[in-house]
Structure 1
Amino acid sequence: MASTTLTTSFSLLRRYRSFRGHAVAKSLPNLSFARLPGQSPALLRSCRFICRNADEEAAAIAAAKVAGSGAPTIFDKIIAKEIPSTIVYEDEKVLAFRDVNPQAPVHVLVIPKIKDGLTQLGKAEPRHAEILGHLLYAAKVVAEKEGIVDGFRVVINSGPQACQSVYHLHLHVLGGRQLKWPAG
């Protein structure tokens, strides 16, 4: 039974098409998620989860390849107000705004306004200690403003293996529902 389910999962995965133009899409050109006779809703959710994760991994790999190019990131454009965002908190050092693809009822990104080479946590240097502390404090302020200070999570993805897709250090503040453990 398990191998039949696995085979069906991969069959569905091969037919899924919405990878938003990432390299993975080229290897899975004929995928769709039409419900097949006898296909369980749980299996369908499982395939969507697999595809979403493959999409995130492809985006992270693509982003890592251009990370050192010096080109402005989407966050640089949000800071410059070239791209609209729903700002939740802002001070002289950080900007916090709602994630456009929320993973929880509250999902806010907190970013430093000046990157100063801080593209990912794994690249932090002693000179970044002050802004790193300020980012965490801003995450707490966001949690208070959003009414989740009694239970929230702060996530930092660092590097392609952590599915970092924007190389401008950022914190995800997540809450508003029961969060599960282990994460990831």
Structure 2
Amino acid sequence: MVDVRRVKLPGVGVLHTFKTSDGGKVGVIAHRSGHSDLITFSDDEDGSNATKISLRLSEDEAHTLAELLGGTQITESLTALDQIPGLSIDWFTVDYDDHIAGQPLGSPAERGIAGLTVVAVVRGDSTNPAPATDFKVFPGDTLVVAGSPEKVAKAFNFFRTGEAKLRAGVVDGSPGLS
């Protein structure tokens, strides 16, 4: 585990730094104004910081960099979770002709799908974790759901058709040939 040091910079924001395995240092200054500075440097024996690089990032650029750097870790974490027996985590992107489009999310249990959780709704660049039952779903939204594979398939069928019952031949949330 990497040891991250956090230092408050009065009137500026917060500096987070950590040492790399090759002896360098990486830091991020998160300014109160929203932008960030990505800095790297290596400490010399005499205490002078001989090599320094600083890059100013807008808030949007900082989020993009965080997603790029964190994407692998998030994917690995989700892959590990997906290997828990009986648990399926899946994404459903809402289309214009889907039943759920324009509707409040509602409670999966009240719709006949007990044991399923809508973990988040991703809309554009924002994520709405643990959305309330009155959260309105729109085309283009991505619903992140967790439950048994059967419950996820049942939920996907409901999101598409409005029916909580699966027809014979439905596999992994997609209608099969029967």
Regarding TM over 0.5, the answer is no
Whichever structure has more helix as a proportion of its residues is 1
- Which is higher, the Rg of structure 1 or of structure 2? 2
Higher normalized strand content (fraction of residues) = 2
Greater relative contact order: 1 or 2 (C-alpha under 8 angstroms, separation 6 or more)? Answer: 1
**TM-score when scaled to structure 1?**
0.31
